[in-house]
Amino acid sequence: MNLNNIKFSTKLIAVFGVMMVVILAANAVVFYSLEKVDRATQRNDVTYDLSMDVQNVYRGVIEQQNAVRAFVMGGDPDFLDTYRKQGEVVDKGLANFIARTASDEQRARAQRLSGVIKEWRAKSLEPYVNIGDDPLAREAAMLALSSRNLTAVRKEAQALLDGQAAMQETRVQETDAQVDVARMGIFGGAAIAMLIAGASGWLLTALIARPVVAMTGAMRKLAGGDNSVEIQGRERRDEIGEMAAAVQVFKEAGIEKVRLEKESAAQREAAEAERARNEALQARAAQEQAAVVDATAQGLEALSRGDLTYRITNAFPADYEKLRNDFNGAIGKLEDTMQSVVHNAHGIHNGSREITSAADDMARRTEQQAAGIEETAAALDEITATVRKTAEGAGEARQVMNSTKAGAESGGQVVRRAMTAMSGVEASAKQISQIIGVIDEIAFQTNLLALNAGVEAARAGEAGKGFAVVASEVRALAQRSAEAAKEIKGLIHDSTEKVDEGVRLVADTGSALERIIGEVAQINALVTEIAQAAQEQATGLQQVNAAVNQMDQVTQQNAAMVEESAAASHALAKEATTLSDLMAQFRLSGGASRAVAPTPAPAAAQPRNPVHAAQAKLTQMITTDPHRVDEWAEF
Amino acid sequence: MTLDNTIAAGRELIVVEIAAQRFAIDIMTVREIRGWTASTRLPHAPGHVLGMINLRGQVLPVIDFAARLGLSTSEPNAASVVIVAEIGDRLVGLLVDAVCDILTLQAGMLQATPEVGSPAVRTFVRGVITTEDAIVTLLALDAVIPEDEILAAA
């Protein structure tokens, strides 16, 4: 990596960054050493406190011994309280030491001391605490207490204190070592920082100040007009490189300016030569133009006279030859067009004649159409009359049917009465038959009596002769009576049969009348349908009437249009003649244009209107008679 | 034959109708003529015995005369007549279709029974009487209804 390609700001930041890192590292070493010194001092304080605790314990032990001795000597129980309080002080100090010490060895010693103290108390002090007022016992106790009892305790306590002193010594040594380290950090860091600062100053001078001075010299030469100066440091990518590139641009701009001044002088000389050449050419062109204008003016004069056969024959200068050709071509094209116009005018004339004859035909056909519509209206009239007759016939048929129905119903009543009468006759005949039966029976019995009388008369012999004659007469009467009864019976039988037949026939008549009534109803329905059909036909006729109206209007419009067509065809023929006259003013190579004689068109046929009469009749027939519609509606 | 002797001219005959045929019976054998009344049937009686009727307290048998004569029988009706005949000492009712006439026998009216090769016919028929409109067969009533047969029937 080339240092010349790094920006000034980056260079400065890098130098100061390195110095800051060195200073931070030195400070970190010092801070670390001070922390360690602080921790060692704290531990030293604890060790000192614990040493004080051991001394307190030892003093408490001595206080206890003194208290017991005083109690034994004086008997004052206050010393017992002192003994107990000092015991608590000793136990608490020991417990505190065991809890706080950092050394396992010291903790073991403290525990051993605690055991020795307990043993000492139990053996040397407790037996004398409850001693009474006995002087002998007290004497013995005083003697016992005077001996050296604390040897073991003192030895252990001293060992503990020695241990504490050794630990304190170790702490002090550690603290001194850390202070040395901190001192080294401070002086070393300062030395390294100084070294780096010096190196950075030299490096920055080499990288920045020298190139800037060189650049300043180059710029001064450039300002004095020396464009040949070489710009150093253009390959660099820092601020010096950018400055070199800008100064290079100034240099190139100076070179370009000199070149442009030379070019503009050359161009001015060329323009001057061109202007002189142009003036000579313009003088010759003006001469040629005058000749061309003369020839063209002659051609246009001929054209204004209507002479389309004129052509410019003299050759023009080369630049104007196209003008001559175009003029001749335009005149030729105009002549062709005029010939076509004359031809077309002739065609238009012929066409207008054909249109006129077509208008005549159309007028004639419109007349025929009007006649057809008249016939249609007449036919419509007849149809309307027929429909009306149908409706009237249907009404009469209905009335006849009604009377027929009434007759049939009264006939049915007559039949029922006849049947009742027949029943009466039948009943009477039955009664007569019964009476005849009685008469017949009487005749039979009379006959039997007459026979018996005859038998008796025969038995009587000669005496009964006369009686026999009487009996014979009676028998004859009885027989006649029986025969008469038989005849009447036969007659009654015939009468009954005939009555039965009459009843049957009357019943047949009744059913026939019922059928007639039913059929009359059917016929009535049919007649109603006929009336409805007549109504529908009337509606249809109204529609037909409307259609005829429309046809009439269309015919009228057709007639008007035929008139307009005829007038237009006249105007067209007149225009064609005018066109031919205008064409005659032109002289054409194919000969003079022909004038077309206008042909008078026949007068447009005035269409008659025979439809209106029929229309009026039909309208009156259908719409002005509301009663007829009502009649039809009845059905 | 002793029959010709007993039937002489001037004798009166009752003419009856049986199965559209006419038969004559001597009036002296007839006791009474009466209308048909319903008869009471007798068990195990012969086919021609219709039954018995009550004649003023006296019970007498009624015979279907047509069946007895071998003619087609007819159902009795209101016009039928029962002739009470005295055969021997017995009274017998004879059912006939009708009583037609009382005929007085004139001389020469009675003719002999035609020979048909059957003795029964001669036994039953005494003779034939011709009238204006029909041939009347004169019956021998005591031969038609024998006494013992009547007794047996009664």
Cβ atoms within 10 Å, residue A83: 21
Q: Is the pLDDT of residue A601 over 50?
A: no
Q: pLDDT at residue A156 above 80? A: yes
Determine the Cα–Cα distance for residues A520 and A503; give it in Å rounded to an integer: 25
* Four-point Cα dihedral A114, A115, A119, A120, nearest 10: -30
Q: What is the pLDDT of residue B7?
A: 64
Backbone φ, ψ for residue A404 (5° rounding): -60, -40
Q: Which residues of A touch B12 (CB under 8 A)?
A: 454, 458, 468
> Is residue A485 exposed (0-12), middle (13-18) or buried (19+ Cβ within 10 Å)?
buried
The dihedrals phi and psi of A24, each to the nearest 5 degrees, come to -60, -45
Residue A330 pLDDT exceeds 80? yes
B79 shares contact with chain A (CB less than 8 Å): yes
Q: Is the pLDDT of residue A113 over 60?
A: yes
d(CA A180, CA A172): 13
Residue A476: closest C-alpha in chain B? B101
Whole-number percent of chain B with pLDDT over 90: 16
Q: Are A601 and A566 in contact (CB under 8 A)?
A: yes
Q: For residue A306, give Cα distances in angstroms to A108, A338, A339, A583.
A: 155, 11, 13, 10
SS (H, E, C) A348-388: HHHHHHHHHHHHHHHHHHHHHHHHHHHHHHHHHHHHHHHHH
Position with higher pLDDT, A600 vs A611: A611
| pLDDT higher than threshold 70 for residue A105 | yes
**pLDDT band at residue A622 using 50, 70 and 90 as cut-offs:** low
Collect all residues of chain B within an 8 Å Cβ-Cβ radius of residue A454.
Answer: 12, 27, 102
> Which chain B residues in 38-57 lie under 8 Å from chain A, judged by CB atoms?
none
Dihedral sign, Cα of residue B7, residue B12, residue B16, residue B22: positive
Please name the amino acid found at residue A557. Q
**Which stretch of DSSP H or E encloses residue B78?**
none
Could you tell me if B93 and B82 are in contact, meaning their C-beta atoms sit under 8 angstroms apart? yes
Q: Which amino acid is at A542?
A: Q
Instruction: Identify the residue among A439, A447, A455, A474 best suited for mutation to test binding to B, counting B beta carbons within 10 A and taking the highest.
Output: A455
Chain A: give the shortest CA distance to residue B97, in Å: 13
Label residue A232 by pLDDT band (50, 70, 90).
confident
Distance from CA of A422 to the nearest CA of B (A): 31
Look up residue B125 and give its amino acid.
V
| Interatomic CA distance for residues A254 and A234, integer angstroms | 18
Total count of residues recorded for chain A: 635
Per-residue exposure over A532-568, b if at least 16 CB sit within 10 Å of its own CB, e if not: ebbbebbeebeebbeebeebbeebbebbeebbebbee
Pairing verdict, β B49-55 and B135-139: unpaired
Contact of A29 with A185, CB cutoff 8 Å: yes
A38-42 mean pLDDT: 86
Predicted local distance difference test score (pLDDT) of residue A635? 41
Quote the longest CA-to-CA distance of chain A: 226
Q: What one-character DSSP code corresponds to residue A600?
A: P
A376 touches chain B (CB under 8 A): no
The pLDDT of B107-131, averaged and rounded, is: 83
- pLDDT given at position A535: 86
Q: What pLDDT does B83 receive?
A: 92
Helix axes A78-100, A104-120, angle to 10 degrees: 160
Inter-chain residue contact B28 with A458, CB threshold 8 Å: yes
Distance in angstroms (rounded) separating the CA atoms of residues A606 and A601: 14
Which of left, alpha, beta for A597 (phi over 0: left; psi -120 to 50: alpha)? Answer: beta
Supply A158's token pair.
Answer: 């001293």
Task: Kindly state whether A444 is in contact with chain B, defined as any CB-CB distance less than 8 angstroms.
Answer: yes
CA distance A478 to chain B (A): 12
Contacts of B27 in chain A (CB under 8 A): 454-455, 458-459
Cα A194 to chain centroid, rounded: 79
Q: What is the mean pLDDT of chain A?
A: 82
Q: Is the pLDDT of residue B100 over 70?
A: yes
Check A458 against B102: CB less than 8 A apart: yes
| Cβ pair A455:B35 closer than 8 A | no
| Dihedral sign computed on CA atoms, order A388, A389, A391, A392 | positive
Q: What is the mean pLDDT of residues A88-102?
A: 86
Work out the pLDDT band at A477, boundaries 50, 70, 90: very high
Cβ A588 vs Cβ A338: under 8 Å: yes
pLDDT the model gives residue B24: 92
Is residue A55 within 8 A of residue A77, CB to CB? The reply is: no
- Output the six-digit token pair for A367: 């007349």
* Neighbouring residues of A231: CB distance < 8 A, sequence distance ≥ 6: A215, A218, A244, A247, A248, A251
Instruction: Count CB-CB contacts under 10 A for residue A592.
Output: 12
Of A441, A452, A468, the CB nearest to B32: A452
For chain A, say whether B147 makes contact (Cβ under 8 Å). no
CA distance A102 to A124: 32
| DSSP class of A464 | G
Q: What is the ipTM of this complex?
A: 0.84
Q: Is the pLDDT of residue B151 over 70?
A: no
Supply the pLDDT for residue A607.
Answer: 43
Question: A97 near A61, Cβ under 8 Å?
Answer: no
Q: pLDDT grade, residue A606 (50/70/90)? A: very low
Average pLDDT over residues A131-154: 77
pLDDT at A240 over 50: yes
Residue B32 sits at the chain A interface (C-beta within 8 Å): yes
SS3 assignment, position A238:
coil
Which pLDDT does position A611 carry in this prediction?
Answer: 55
Contact B99 A444 (CB under 8 A): no
Name which of A503, A337, A480 is nearest A417 in CA terms: A503
Token digits of residue A606: 């005035």
C-alpha distances in Å from residue A452, one per residue of A41, A472, A480, B58: 197, 10, 18, 18
Name the β-bridge partners of B140.
none
Q: Say whether B27 and A458 touch across the interface (CB within 8 A).
A: yes
Give the tens place of pLDDT for each residue, A262-281. 888 788 888 888 888 888 88
Partnered with residue B84 across adjacent β-strands are B32, B93
Q: How many Cα neighbours within 13 Å face the side chain of A235? A: 3
Q: For A452, which of B33, B78, B79 is closest by C-beta distance?
A: B33
Q: pLDDT tens for residues A564-581?
A: 887 888 788 788 888 878
A437 token code pair? 């039966």
Residues of chain B contacting A475 with CB distance shorter than 8 Å: 102
> pLDDT tens digit string along A532-574?
888 888 888 889 888 888 888 888 888 788 888 878 887 887 8
Which of B10, B31, B12, B14 is closest to B22 using CA atoms? B14
pLDDT at A630 over 70: no
- Which helix (H) or strand (E) element contains residue B94? strand B90-96
Identify which of A448, A459, A472 has the shortest CB distance to residue B33. A448
CB contacts, 8 Å: B28 with chain A: 458-459
A56-60, A256-260, A298-302, B120-124: segment of lowest average pLDDT? B120-124
CB B50 within 8 A of CB B94: no
Split at pLDDT 50, 70, 90, the class of B82 is very high
At A487, the pLDDT band (50, 70, 90 cuts) reads very high
pLDDT at A373 over 60: yes
**Residue A597 tokens, joined:** 């004689």
Q: For A34-43, A345-354, A464-473, which range has the lowest pLDDT when averaged over its residues? A: A345-354
Report the amino acid identity of residue A374.
E
Whose CA is closest to B4, among B131, B118, B86, B125? B125
A448/B34 touch (CB, cutoff 8 Å), yes or no:
yes
Quickly tell me which residue has 């065991």 as its tokens: A98
Q: Cα B94 to chain center, whole Å?
A: 6
Question: Which has more pLDDT, A525 or A40?
Answer: A525
Q: Does A535 touch chain B (CB under 8 A)?
A: no
Q: Closest by alpha carbon to A603, among A549, A566, A554?
A: A566
Q: pLDDT band for B148, please (50, 70, 90 cuts).
A: low
> What distance in Å separates the CA atoms of residue A357 and residue A291, rounded to the nearest whole number?
59
Residue A628 has pLDDT above 70, yes or no: no
Instruction: State what percent of residues in chain A have pLDDT above 90.
Output: 5
Whether residue A349 contacts residue A576, with contact meaning beta carbons closer than 8 Å, is answered with yes
Q: What is the mean pLDDT of residues A428-457?
A: 90
> CA-to-CA distance for B134 and B15, rounded, in angstroms?
11
Confidence (pLDDT) at B76: 83
Per DSSP, the three-state class of A428 is helix
Distance CA B69, CA B71 (A): 6
As given in the structure block, the two tokens for residue A518 are 């039913």
E strand or H helix at A501: helix A465-584
